[in-house]
Structure 1
């Protein structure tokens, strides 16, 4: 409502409204992805690859559940209707991503564990999670919930740095890239898992839009709200070090597929690109159609 009591029209030219519409138009259902080929193919995965896949899926599933919970404070403090519309779609998509990982575990991982005569596991088991991983998500939870008691431009910037830049923009995008590369059929030693690759592709596309929203809000805070760009650079830089420890710790020395150096390099590249787009006043923000593309 506006100050005179009349209803405010939605700004359809606002970037967040375009992101909202893009989310609506690109809707997908995790239960429509065929996982039967994955159930057949995963039997060919060597033990080290199967263990690595279980750990990766557990990390992603827990991460999606955590960010679904942690996004709520942002939905509370945002005042613009178009911003709220977009965050509503993001909340829905994060919940949908968590649903995909849970379904994959129940449909593919647990039956394969039984076939291999392994103890039936849960993606919530503590054994999957490292200290840097827990620390990253604990920091994110604190940064997001701080908005409910001290909603300042600086605290909003820190929250976007944690959620949209570090977790979604660096950690998640690096993981999606790695899994898609490893299980797309390019490595003879690893099974081709089309259901997993399709799900990761759709999630990665959604996350590109989420990251774009956070980047735009950060750039606006720097340009219009007086937030020091050094705060953004230092916050993301510190969190990127945690991400590198997570990525490095999840890599096995004898594992087939993309190695630790390649993944760390990919993460560093994403960090550098996005930081420049935010802090450089002359750098243009990518359009939403570019953000959701997976080429390259």
Structure 2
């Protein structure tokens, strides 16, 4: 057994890992409690009223497929971090993160089964699959492959530099920039009255709101770890700039790829998503590297103000 004999009691209740763990426990939600009947009816009615229903449906399917695949990938890739971390408080938090990533995967799988498939059936379309390669471009594949490799290197050599690379790939870029940009695009597009040329999907927006609630803890944890590594002089802040600089073009290629060109003028323009991603990148790096700044509170970390 590997118990910390320097502690009178096993857990440090004031540590960030333990506080985030408790926050996760107290804010638990079940993806099967989200009501999806309205989404199914609104989407079907909307597509029935358009001349090009598949064009609109492809925009939604692409977004849901990418989120679902991303959540599945990060669920699979996070286990090495729990093994490499030396603090039981941090390990307990990471167990909630793995659980939550799995829960997000559950939500997007359910959305495909209970909204997209019935609507496709009503339109006379063959049932599609969220794992079809048509939804994913090369940049998407490369970004998640790099994340998996960073986590595997951490497991092999848990040095300060490898921890920094893992946090940059997983928490900072994938969750703090890419996912945040995706939330912004999807929630703005499918919320009430934001874009009247698109259907209102309250269940999808509710799911995104709850997922963002979880991701605030995830991003905050990774940012705090990076800030400590930089502040303690264990890693050069230039390393963070180099890693994120390599990955941000992949994020841009993912967020601006809308597929069918006829979908370009529907919903949020790609250039607005690119600008949002760049803004989040600048914010995250300033908050991590500036000793005078602190990691924001959980709600601020996933605010969609842009």
The TM-score normalised by the length of structure 1 is 0.95
Q: Unpaired segments of 5 or more residues in structure 2?
A: 48-52
CA deviation profile, 1:29-56 (whole Å, cap 9, x unmatched) = 0000000001100011443221110011
CA-to-aligned-CA distance 1:70-117 (integer Å, 9 cap, x gap): 000000011111101110110010000000000000000011111112
What value does the CA root-mean-square deviation take over the aligned residues? 1.6
- Greater CA deviation, 244-253 or 77-86? 244-253
Partner residue in 1 for 2:152: 145
**Out of 136, 143, 148, which is 1:129 matched to?**
136
The 5-angstrom pairing of residues 27-176 of structure 1 reads: 27-43=28-44, 44-45=46-47, 46-176=53-183
Length-normalised TM-score, structure 2 = 0.92
**1:287 Cα offset (Å):** 2.5
1:212 and 2:214 equivalent? Answer: no
Counterpart of 2:248 in structure 1 is 240
CA distance in 1, matches of 2:90, 2:238: 25
Q: Which moved more, 1:245-254 or 1:210-219?
A: 245-254
- 1:288, distance to aligned residue in structure 2 (A): 3.2
The Cα of 1:9 is off from its aligned counterpart by 2.8
Match of 1:22 in 2: 23
Provide the secondary structure at the position in 1 that maps to 2:256: helix
**How many residues are paired up?**
295
Q: 1:220-240: per-residue Cα shift (whole Å, max 9, x none)?
A: 111125200000011012111
Q: 2:274 pairs with 256, 264, 271, which one? A: 264
Whether the 8 Å CA contact 1:222–1:229 is kept in 2: the answer is: yes
Mapping for residues 215-226 of structure 1, pairs under 5 Å: 215-226=223-234
Q: How far apart, CA to CA, are the structure 1 residues paired with 2:38 and 2:296?
A: 36
Higher mean C-alpha deviation, range 65-74 or range 221-230? 221-230
Contact 1:38–1:194 (CA<8 Å) still a contact in 2?
yes
Q: Which residue of 2 aligns with 1:2?
A: 4
2:237 aligns to what?
Answer: 229
CA drift at 1:207: 0.9
Runs of 4+ in 1 over 2 A off after TM superposition: 6-9, 250-255, 287-296
- CA–CA separation in structure 1 for the residues paired with 2:233 and 2:102: 31
Query: In the alignment, what sits opposite 1:183?
Result: 190
SS at match of 1:199: helix
Instruction: Between 24-33 and 250-259, report the one with greater CA deviation.
Output: 250-259
Residues 164 and 215 in structure 1, CA contact (< 8 A), matched pair in contact too: yes
Is 1:198 matched up with 2:202? Answer: no
Q: Distance in 2 between matches of 1:289 and 1:82?
A: 22
Structure 1: runs of 5+ lacking an equivalent: none
2:4–2:10 CA contact under 8 A, matched in 1: no
